[in-house]
Each structure stands twice: as structure tokens, then as C-alpha cells.
A and B are shown apart, each in its own frame.
Chain A
Amino acid sequence: MVLVQGSPTVGALRDEIQSVRYRQATTTFCRLVAENQRPLKEMIGEAIAAAAPYVQVPSHMMRLPTGEMRGVNYDHTILGWRGAIALMHELGGARGILPNVQAMWYVSQGLNVWEQVVCEFPGHYARDAEQCDRKFPGTDEHVNRFDGPAWNVPKIYFEDHAPIEDGSITDRLARMTWAIAEGDKAQAYGLFLGLAKEPEYRQHLKDAILFSGIVDLQDTIINRGGYQNIGHKGLRARALVDIADYLGWDNAHELFYTVVPDLACSPHLHGLWSEISNICRMELPDQAAIPKRSDKPLSERELDSLTETLLWGGPYDVNATVMQLFRRGAGILDVGDAVMVCFQRYLIDVLEHPNAFLHPTHALDYMNVVQSWTRDHDNPHQVKGVFLGARFMNDTIRSNAMFPRDPNFALEPRQVYRAWADDMAVDRLLPVLKQYVLAQDAPRSCALVDSYLERTSERRDLLDTITYAACHWQNDPHVMRNCASSLEEYRHNQTSRRDDIIRGFVKHQSRYVKRAPTHDCYQLYVDHFHPTDA
């Protein structure tokens, strides 16, 4: 129970975020919007600003006393906001506020990641992944002190910088992308700040920052421990572009401070980019001329073949299959759309263990960044992005397959419940679906969706139902991000199998491991915003 006293202020919100009092911070956020009528956009900007100095890390690799290395997680606060802002427009009205309240709930749990992984600061990583309370328990055995509040101030690993404005625009863009690749955070950030002041070159800046994020991707996560980024550089770049467009680029300084230095943070993983660049140079000399869409989209047989390769092939099988599609004249988005739908068969048919969704769905979100970059920008390297996304997806599938399957996490086939779903009136299906997603019953949720997809052409309410149910779960920005990716890709996908995106989406959201069993954040949202369907 959060004690609410006095009038909420932005100052209080800032203090509560920085001291990891996430329940109070979320309450203040809700009151500022619901009671004080402060614009949601403004409050999102304030929350991002309050967190900005404390989301950087010295490196995403930490050297242990033994000499071995461990990974340090990427900031997820900004990914929650990007998902929430996208979903706000999808869900609309009071319902659209829910993902923002969820993003707010997470913010103060995601600060100071470096300190969290060594159990010196409270938050989601310290409390859950690192189980710090077991290693360093407090005086009260009933209180997990790593749930907050903080006992010291969060650290700042990268101070804010001034813009760098010397040189031509072209020169500054080139220096910025090179500084990101080389790991010069100050140079990259300063150049970005200077370029962000030039509205007429903003499209070039967006393209350059997305490019820099997308090309930084591990070649494999198999047995790599922390030496990977599971697509987070690309995901952050996309978050920057979307949120800056929402807040307004002139009001987004703290957003830039949050994202840009980390794009230049180590490790820098350009091995896969080099491999794909090399094979494209050899086999696709006219790659820059490949159209985004062609009159030769993939046939059903090609979709089957691509599915087989992504799910069961090896990395060079993926290279060969994608290369063949481009060589025979398919467009970039034709192949990208196909990769997106073919990958869904892994979610739909193969995945069972709730923990095993994490990496494959990062690959899905990364592929969404590649696809949106291709849709919204013109860049001669975009064909390579499709290879990168397909390889990432295939690698996460192979990585999961390195672990023997656990029969204790086997799922019943969705077909078992198909007759049960078909017996239900169509107009009853969506309320029932919401119940089963909330109950995390994947076989029944999937059967309901299969039935709905075959019995009606309506899709918007279906997607809305899955998304809104998914957003009941707290502590996890991945949920909002994946919802946003799935909805966007469904809308743009031009293959005959685009409904598979919905089938994969509902399987994910009704099975993926949850970070908290309760809906306290949702209840807070209900108390302040009174949605009609609560």
C-alpha cells in the first residue's frame, strides 16, 4: 500500500525515481497525469530526464577478479518507453495509458545496472537475476532490500557533454558513425548533439544512427556468455528515433543522453557485419540497386524453404537461402517480410519453455528495427540488414537447441482445444482470450486465436485484446517492445502468411516467463485512470 500525501510534484517524481522507490514514483506519475492534468508527454520526458544520468555503464563487459569476463545488461528503461509510446496509439484512450504506467513502474528498477550486477544498488537485476538478497541479506529477513529504496546515490559513468559543431554535415555524420564504431562516446555524443540541432538533416541523422545500431550485432550467442548484445544497439537506436519524434527533437536532450553514449559502449561486435558485407560484395555487386519491393515476392514453396532453413538450418544455409532470393530478384522488404513470418513457426510450433522465448524474441524485435529502417529510410546497405536479422533469428534458435528439451515444460498441442474454441460464439472469443492470456494458458489461447482467424476477417480487436492483456504484466519492458514490434510488422507484412505473426504473438504473450506474478502496477493504473473494462 502506497501512502499518498500532499500534491504530487515533478521534483518528487525525480527523487522517487533516483532513490528506487518505484511504487511511489509510479503513484506520483499517475497523480500528475490524472489529478494534476499534466500532459502525459511532458511527464514521460521528465521521467526519462530523471533517469538519464544513471543508465550508462563503463562497459557491457565486466572483468571479474578471476580474470574471466561477464556481461553487463543494457539499459531497458528507454525500451519500455519506446514500446509504451507505440502502444499508446494502438490501444487508444485510457487503455493506451497502461503501457506508459508499466514503463514508469520499471524505470527506477533499471538504473545503475553496473552496480546492480555486483549487488551494490537495488533494482530488477539485483533483486531477480542476481538474487543479491541471498548473497547480502539485510537485517530484516522479510524484506528484500534489493527491491529498493536505494541506500546510496546512483553513480554517473558518463557526464553530459556539449555539442560538437565543426565541419560539414557529411563530415560530421561520418565522424559520428566512426566514433560509435570505435567506442569514442564523447565524440559520438557531441557530434550527435550538434547534428540534432539541424532539422533539415534530421532524416540523415536518423538513418545514420539506425545504421550504427544495426551493424553492431554478435555473430553468435552460443556459449558466448555476456559477449553479445542480442540486438540492443539497434533496439536503442530505434527507441531514440521514435521517442524523439514523439517528444519533439528540441525537447529530447535527455533522451539523447540516455541513448547515444551507450551506442558507443564496448564491446563492439562487427564480425557478422563484416561477413555479410563480404558475401554481398561477392554475390550481389548491385546490391544498392535492389528495390524495396519487387513484382517477385516469395512463392509458397520459397516460404516453406526459408522456414526450414531458419528453424533447422545452419548459419551458412541461411546465407545461401537469403542470397538466392535476392539473386533471383526479390525485393528487400519482400525477403524481410518473409523472414518475419517464417520465423513465427518457431514461436508457434517449437518453443515450449517460458525462459526460451527471451533470445528469439529479441531477434524478432531486432528484425523489426531492420524492417522499419528499410521502410522509412534509403540506405545502400539495407539489403545486408535482412541477412543480419535472419542470421540472428537462426542463431537464437540454434542457441536454444544446444540445451536438451525438458519434458516437464512440454505444452499440450493447440489442436486439442480447437473444437472447444470452435464451439464458442465468435463475439465471445475475445473476452475469453483475454482471460486465457492472463492465465498464461498457451494451448487454449492459441486455439482461440486459430479459431478466430478462420472465422472472421476482423484483426484489429484481436490484436488489441492480446496487447492489452499482455500489458497487465509488470517489471518487464520486453513485453511492450514485443507488442509494438508484432503489431507494426503485422500491419506492414505483405506475405500470404501474415496471420502467423498473430499466432506467434499470442503464443509468446501467453507463455513467456513473467517477472512478477502479481498485477500491482495494473491496479495502480486502474485506481487512477478508471478504464471501463477493468
Chain B
Amino acid sequence: MNGDLKDLWQVRNVAAGVLVLSEEQMRRAVGDASVEQLTALIETFSPARSTGPEWTRSFEPLVERLCAWCDEATMAELADVFRARGIPWMAVTNALSRENGECVRSALRQPAWARLPAFAIV
């Protein structure tokens, strides 16, 4: 049993390490992306383009990262793009709003011992 637990914990640590690396690569990619590229990514969360609920459910983790990694001007530009599209995109517009960004950032935490990014949602 102790051996099993140790093995399981080791697997978990490896998975966490992979997650750290993928988050770091995602951060760099988001930082290099233009508003048009970010818009194209967000458009994939439309019910008509989504590959399914599993994809759409990852919208909130993406918004959390955008709020943490993008500057305010980029976020405002993104929100304007979707605001112009009206009611069908209202949930997305609200998620990209400055108010939601402040709310998300205030909920993020980075304890001293943590190597993982400070995201609430995986």
C-alpha cells in the first residue's frame, strides 16, 4: 500500500510537471499572439464551432489565463470585438470585461511553495 501510494504520488508529480511546462508554453504563445489570433481562438467556443462540451468547458480556464497574461489594452480590444457581435456573444463579452478580469486576478494566488501557475481552474 505504501509503495502504491508513493508510485501514485510520483505519477501525480510528473503530471504536474508536464502541466507546468504546458502552461509556460501557453503563456508565451498568448503573449506573442495578436488580437486577431486570440479572437480566432475564442471563436472556437461558439456552439456552432465547438467540438463539444469538453472543449467549451475549457473556456473559463482560458479566460483566467488571458486575464492573467494579457495587458488591459489587449483585453479591452478583445472585449470590443465580441461586444460588437451582440447578444449571442454576451457571455464571452462579459467574461472578457475589465470587471471580470479584476475579479479573476483577485482570486489568483501563488503561495511561496508553489511551482504551479496560480490558477484556480485547471
A397–B53 CA distance with the chains assembled, in angstroms: 9
Contact with B along A58-70 (1 / 0, CB 8 A): 0000000000000
Partner of A403, one of B52, B54, B91, B103: B91
Q: Which of B17-25, B27-35, B92-100 contacts A (4 or more CB under 8 A)?
A: B92-100
Asked if A404 and B56 make an inter-chain contact with CB atoms under 8 angstroms apart, the answer reads yes
B105 to chain A, nearest CB (A): 13
Q: Cβ of B50 < 8 Å from any Cβ of A?
A: yes
Asked if B94 and A406 make an inter-chain contact with CB atoms under 8 angstroms apart, the answer reads yes
Q: Cβ of B119 < 8 Å from any Cβ of A?
A: no
Contact with B along A292-336 (1 / 0, CB 8 A): 000000000000000000000010000000000000000000000
Contact with A along B56-87 (1 / 0, CB 8 A): 11011000000000000000000000000000
| Complex: chain A residue closest to B91, CB-CB | A406
Asked if A407 and B56 make an inter-chain contact with CB atoms under 8 angstroms apart, the answer reads no
Tally B residues with Cβ within 8 Å of A.
Answer: 19
A402–B60 CA distance with the chains assembled, in angstroms: 12
A222–B50 CA distance with the chains assembled, in angstroms: 11
A528 to chain B, nearest CB (A): 41
Partner of A402, one of B53, B92, B94, B97: B53
User: Using Cβ atoms and an 8 Å threshold, which residues of chain A touch B45?
Assistant: 404
A204 to chain B, nearest CB (A): 41
Q: Cβ of A405 < 8 Å from any Cβ of B?
A: yes
Asked if B50 and A402 make an inter-chain contact with CB atoms under 8 angstroms apart, the answer reads yes
Asked if A407 and B94 make an inter-chain contact with CB atoms under 8 angstroms apart, the answer reads yes
Asked if B94 and A408 make an inter-chain contact with CB atoms under 8 angstroms apart, the answer reads yes
A403–B91 CA distance with the chains assembled, in angstroms: 8
Asked if B95 and A407 make an inter-chain contact with CB atoms under 8 angstroms apart, the answer reads yes
B78 to chain A, nearest CB (A): 13
Tell me whether A407 and B47 are in contact in the complex, defined as CB-CB below 8 angstroms, given that A401-B56, A402-B53 are known contacts. no
Asked if A401 and B103 make an inter-chain contact with CB atoms under 8 angstroms apart, the answer reads no
Q: Cβ of B48 < 8 Å from any Cβ of A?
A: yes
Number of A-B contacts defined by CB within 8 Å: 42
Q: Cβ of A398 < 8 Å from any Cβ of B?
A: yes
Partner of B47, one of A223, A314, A405, A408: A223
User: Using Cβ atoms and an 8 Å threshold, which residues of chain B touch A223?
Assistant: 47-48
Partner of B60, one of A314, A399, A405: A405
A42–B50 CA distance with the chains assembled, in angstroms: 52
CB proximity to B under 8 Å, residues A119-154? none
Q: Cβ of B90 < 8 Å from any Cβ of A?
A: yes
Tell me whether A407 and B90 are in contact in the complex, defined as CB-CB below 8 angstroms, given that A402-B53, A402-B56 are known contacts. no
A213 to chain B, nearest CB (A): 28
User: Using Cβ atoms and an 8 Å threshold, which residues of chain B touch A406?
Assistant: 90-91, 94-95
| Complex: chain A residue closest to B60, CB-CB | A405
Asked if A407 and B103 make an inter-chain contact with CB atoms under 8 angstroms apart, the answer reads yes
| Complex: chain A residue closest to B103, CB-CB | A407
User: Using Cβ atoms and an 8 Å threshold, which residues of chain A touch B91?
Assistant: 403-406, 408
User: Using Cβ atoms and an 8 Å threshold, which residues of chain B touch A222?
Assistant: 47
User: Using Cβ atoms and an 8 Å threshold, which residues of chain B touch A403?
Assistant: 47, 56, 91
Asked if A405 and B50 make an inter-chain contact with CB atoms under 8 angstroms apart, the answer reads no
CB proximity to A under 8 Å, residues B89-120? 90-92, 94-95, 97, 100, 103
User: Using Cβ atoms and an 8 Å threshold, which residues of chain A touch B47?
Assistant: 222-223, 402-403
| Complex: chain B residue closest to A400, CB-CB | B53
| Complex: chain A residue closest to B95, CB-CB | A407
A184–B47 CA distance with the chains assembled, in angstroms: 36
A222–B48 CA distance with the chains assembled, in angstroms: 10
User: Using Cβ atoms and an 8 Å threshold, which residues of chain A touch B60?
Assistant: 404-405
User: Using Cβ atoms and an 8 Å threshold, which residues of chain B touch A314?
Assistant: 52, 54
A130 to chain B, nearest CB (A): 16
A398–B60 CA distance with the chains assembled, in angstroms: 16
A404–B92 CA distance with the chains assembled, in angstroms: 7
A401–B60 CA distance with the chains assembled, in angstroms: 11
User: Using Cβ atoms and an 8 Å threshold, which residues of chain B touch A401?
Assistant: 53, 56-57
A398 to chain B, nearest CB (A): 4
Contact with B along A396-433 (1 / 0, CB 8 A): 01110111111110000000000000000000000000
A407–B95 CA distance with the chains assembled, in angstroms: 6
A472 to chain B, nearest CB (A): 29
CB proximity to B under 8 Å, residues A21-65? none
A233 to chain B, nearest CB (A): 25
| Complex: chain A residue closest to B92, CB-CB | A404
A407–B59 CA distance with the chains assembled, in angstroms: 12
A399–B47 CA distance with the chains assembled, in angstroms: 9
A407–B120 CA distance with the chains assembled, in angstroms: 15
CB proximity to A under 8 Å, residues B1-58? 45, 47-48, 50, 52-54, 56-57
A408–B99 CA distance with the chains assembled, in angstroms: 10
A403–B45 CA distance with the chains assembled, in angstroms: 7
User: Using Cβ atoms and an 8 Å threshold, which residues of chain B touch A399?
Assistant: 53
B9 to chain A, nearest CB (A): 22
B94 to chain A, nearest CB (A): 4
User: Using Cβ atoms and an 8 Å threshold, which residues of chain A touch B100?
Assistant: 407
User: Using Cβ atoms and an 8 Å threshold, which residues of chain A touch B56?
Assistant: 401-404
Asked if B53 and A398 make an inter-chain contact with CB atoms under 8 angstroms apart, the answer reads yes
18 contacts between A and B (CB under 8 A): A222-B47, A223-B48, A397-B53, A399-B53, A401-B53, A401-B56, A401-B57, A402-B56, A403-B47, A404-B56, A404-B95, A405-B60, A405-B91, A405-B95, A407-B95, A407-B103, A408-B91, A408-B94
User: Interface residues, chain B, CB within 8 Å of chain A?
Assistant: 45, 47-48, 50, 52-54, 56-57, 59-60, 90-92, 94-95, 97, 100, 103
A402-B50, A404-B95, A408-B91 given; 19 more Cβ-contact pairs under 8 Å: A314-B54, A397-B53, A399-B53, A401-B53, A402-B52, A402-B56, A403-B47, A403-B56, A404-B45, A404-B59, A404-B60, A404-B92, A405-B60, A405-B91, A406-B94, A406-B95, A407-B95, A407-B100, A408-B94
Leading 9 A-B pairs by shortest Cβ distance: A406-B91, A401-B53, A404-B59, A402-B47, A398-B53, A408-B94, A407-B100, A404-B91, A404-B45
